[in-house]
Structure 1
Amino acid sequence: QGNNMKHINYKKRVWMRVIMLVILAFLSMGSIFVLWGCSEGEKDSEEANSSIANTSDAIALSNTSTFEPSPIPSLETLIYLTDVVVTATANFWETSTAEYHLSVSIEAARTETAAAYKTETATLWTPTPTATHTLTPTLTPLEIAERGVSSNAEWSAYVGIDGMTRREFDGVTMVLVPAGCFMMGSENGQSNELPVHEQCFEEPFWIDETEVTNAQYGSVACPDSFDPDQPRNCISWLSAKGHCEARGGRLPTEREWEYAARGPDSWEYPWGNEFVGEYVVHLGSPEYQDIKIAPVGSRPEGASWVGALDMAGNLSEWTSSIYEDYPYDPEDGREQVEDTDSRIVLRGGDFGKGAQYLRSAFRSRYPSNTAYNNFGFRCVHSYDN
């Protein structure tokens, strides 16, 4: 009887093993079919069978395995999970390990899959901000060429006519000298600058911004000034007068020249009452020994109140006035330009003079046929010309 019971128990154990193996076989086949359906189209059957075989061999060598899911589950990963369940069940069929591993593996796969796809979706649908270019306005500084004056009511009136204080005459820039009054002469100079007296202009006029250059004149005379931008020197009063008249203008009178240089405030120098050596080309200039005569406009800081340049230093300038004592009277014959036998006034000092001779009130006189290398000129036009 004991042997019969052992035989019966043995048969029961055999059948239980057979039944468990059949169940596990069906579970494995079902899992494989499901996984194959999920991964259809990603890889062909040869790659899948190869991956299954390789993964199964690796798991068979070690009866335990650790599941570390990849960011996005692939066919190999899911089959790996199934083999873990099958292997664990085959080795530990008498426990509940199969159900536990199956549950853990499925949950892990589901969790990993959900997390991976959720993250990918979030990344794809995150809007990318775009920068909007904003223009930042900037201020453009305005350049004021003219020097301000303290008092001259007529100035604003004449500028307001057409808004022009500069004008081109046959390619030569001229600056506007408005109507007004100033004190002619100086108590700080030579005796021929006295008495100081008032002179007035009822009409404005135009004067060259710079001394006439070699290029404007069309030729050179002295060997020390061949630069086309240097002022035309070594010129006589007659030649200077003829050039201005050929341009439709004339030489300035002595009082016109001084007014354009000093202005209604009657400054000692074109830029003010204090001498500034850097504002003028003269004997004390650092480069005097090298260049002597400088290109016109090379000292813009020394501009007069109307923007006329080099009215102190560089070259002395011919006027149209005959030399006479003060007070200046335009009706006493000194502006009779036909008289070529008298001495003619030059103004403005030159590159060979010191500060005392660069004042705007300084006067010198020479015969009309004199043509030294420190003599130059500029022209004027009437306002309505």
Structure 2
Amino acid sequence: MAHWRELLPEKQLFERQLRPEALKADLAALGQAVARCPDGEIEEACAVAAMHELPWVRQALLRALAVRAPQHDEVRAAVGWLTHDYEDFVAFEAVTLAGELRLREVLADLLVIVGRASERVTGFAGKPVGIGHAVVLRAITAIIGSTDQAVLRSVEDELFAEGVDQAEYPARPVEDAADGGSHEHGSMAAVPGGVVLGGPPPAFAGENLLFDWNDPPEERHCAGFRIDKLPVSNAEYDLFAGSPAALRHRFCHPREPKGKLHLRNTLLDSRSGPGHPVTGVDWFDAYAYARSLGKRLPTETEWQRAGEGPDRRAYPWGDEFDGARTRCLPPPSGNGWATVDRWRDELLGLADDPPAHTARERGMPGNVSPFGVGDLSGNVWEWTSSCFDGPAFSPVGTDRDAIDVIYDQRSYVVIKGGTWTSLPEQASLAFRGRDLAFDRHFEIGFRCVCDCGGDGAR
């Protein structure tokens, strides 16, 4: 067998040829070679695992090294570093290993992801997105060795005795207008301007809600606009990701991380076909794609307006949830989910035993808003251009480590719509989820808007 260094795939070659099946074979051979590498090469292999440009290589090396030498100092350091990898499948692998290895040195960083674990384990949900939140919380309790609220709180108080620095939000910089040229409006819906209200929809009044709805009930106004009738598909995104413009970063945000790979991280996932909504892309990928077409990402107000129409409905089709119209996580009984803990247990089951199907193909029957916009509820979350806790999103910094980024509240973006791992409450149009703009999850996609007006005229 060839030496493991000789088996490392090259980023540029893979970018240009897009050979998923060949990469799978290369990764299998690489893992087998690393599993037999000499002791003297473990440190070097760990460095490659932490820094290689292809996320699939990082995951393959991490798996092999964890089997080869789980107690090696450099292996443990690589596991800790990769718990904050921007690619979901790499981070999930590392977080799970961190729990198994009881890596207390990464505990503070994991706690920042979920917030107060002592509150989460008792059912207060915060703003979890899905599987990642559940995997991190499981690792935290494994490292601490307890799910007792008092024990968790004492650890948190010790680690964050001085609190976490509060971010200062700079003014949103003026950015160049999108210059991708003209685009057709046939695949876009016109949405007239209007008002959107924060907080739960009226249909939820009196309900025992499972999630955190402490959003201010403020009025938000938006002018007319056009929005894609369906989220961007894998086929559409792959055309962009393999184009010279993407390889040369022609339409990218000026604060995009250097050396970024624009290929979606679901390329090797056979469950994600050409007609499925694209996932495994971060905010910067979505920004660049939209700009390449002369479009942009919607604000959370525009996104919600496109789904609610004029009557603040809870779902695009009305006020009652209908599982036949979308793809969400069905409750185990007609009584719904009694606690968030039961939902998290289900998510951990999906993490440990991946399902045969994730998102559905685009164009779910009956999942259409009053303005003719489809697939806004369930299936996949969607990126917006709104910062979760502050003004319009504007990335801060370009060369920061992932561990630094998670502490900066300016790095979190509003995501909307829920996903295939969400409960109906999360899939309601008013619910605000959040995630790091740098993260790439197989639960998050996007669609685009343009400022050509929502009154039928360009």
TM-score (norm 1): 0.50
Name whichever structure is richer in strand by fraction. 1
TM-score (norm 2): 0.42
The higher-RCO structure (CA 8 Å, 6+ apart) is 2
Please identify the structure whose Cα radius of gyration is greater: 1
